[in-house]
């Protein structure tokens, strides 16, 4: 069985739920994908890391770091970074806080010492609906002086996020679209 098929099985078993849910975007939905149930399992984290790294590693301009918004992206950026190291193409990770750190440096981004100034980074997210969280991350990453070269997700819910990101110049790559996951 290949990695993509196995990850799909894990996502459907651990993360996919039917019912009535309010999403972080505020939208109502008849299904929910709780990505952390997959990304916090050992096998799920590894598979997400491998498949996201595959989307990142062949970018035309080298990606120097991978990051995303805490908490959903935390296990993903760690998994991608570890997989990249094992592949002998190390990419450091960084995490974007929801609020600026209340003490010390007061910064939004953790892991800055591992990032070359002005470097090209990839952003990851477990599930994309409207793209709102990613737009916030993009704004913070750019304000810190970095360039966003790529945005990747485990699941694109196909509810406008990819189009909103593309309109801002950030095409979204997904391991699975909703249609692929539920097929």
**Ordered domains of the chain (ranges, CATH):** 49-176 (3.40.50.2020)
Q: What's the confidence (pLDDT) of residue 122?
A: 98
d(CA 163, CA 67): 21
Quote the tokens at residue 99. 């609020």
CB 142 within 8 A of CB 95: no
Residue 156 has a pLDDT of: 97
At 48 the pLDDT is 98
Low-confidence ranges of the chain (pLDDT < 50): none
Distance CA 102, CA 172 (A): 32
Entry pTM: 0.95
Structure tokens at 136: 């916030």
How many CA atoms lie less than 13 Å away from 41 in the CB half-sphere?
14
pLDDT at 23: 86
> What integer pLDDT is reported at residue 24 of this predicted model?
82
Task: For residue 6, give Cα distances in angstroms to 11, 41, 89, 155.
Answer: 9, 13, 24, 14
| E strand or H helix at 69 | strand 65-69
* C-alpha distances out from residue 98 to 38, 107, 133, 135, 165, Å: 22, 11, 10, 12, 19
């Amino acid at each position: 069985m290949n990695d993509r098929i196995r990850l799909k099985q894990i996502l459907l078993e651990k993360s996919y739920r039917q019912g009535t849910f309010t999403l972080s975007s505020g939208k109502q939905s008849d299904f929910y994908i709780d990505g952390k149930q997959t990304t916090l399992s050992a096998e799920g984290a590894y598979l997400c890391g491998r498949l996201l790294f595959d989307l990142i590693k062949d970018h035309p301009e080298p990606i120097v770091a991978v990051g995303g918004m805490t908490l959903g992206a935390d296990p993903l950026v760690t998994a991608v970074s570890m997989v990249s190291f094992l592949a002998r193409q190390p990419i450091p990770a960084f995490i974007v806080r929801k609020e600026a750190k209340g003490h010390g440096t007061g910064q939004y981004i953790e892991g800055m010492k591992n990032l070359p100034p002005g470097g090209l980074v990839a952003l990851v997210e477990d599930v994309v609906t409207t793209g709102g969280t990613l737009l916030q991350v993009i704004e913070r990453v750019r304000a810190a002086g970095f360039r966003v070269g790529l945005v990747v997700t485990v699941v694109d819910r196909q509810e406008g996020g990819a189009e909103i990101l593309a309109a801002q110049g950030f095409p979204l790559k997904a391991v699975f679209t909703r249609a692929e996951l539920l097929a």
